[in-house]
Amino acid sequence: MIKVNLATGHVIAAESAALFDAADDALLSSARLTVSILEATIESRLDPRTKQKLLEAMNAGQSKLVDSRKSFTSVHSQLVVLQRRTNLAEVSWGCGELHLTARGPSIDGRRRPFDTPIEPAFGGE
- The per-residue pLDDT for range 28-56, each reduced to its tens digit, is 999 999 999 999 999 999 999 999 999 99
- Residues for the chain: how many in total? 125
In percent, the amount of the chain with pLDDT more than 90 equals 46
pTM above 0.85, yes or no: no
Q: What's the whole-number mean pLDDT along residues 63-82?
A: 92
Q: What are the sequence ranges of the domains in the chain?
A: 6-114
Distance set, CA 26 to CA 23, 34, 60, 77, 113 (Å): 5, 12, 14, 21, 23
- The per-residue pLDDT for range 85-119, each reduced to its tens digit, is 888 888 877 654 334 433 444 444 454 444 444 44
**Strand partners for 98:** 107
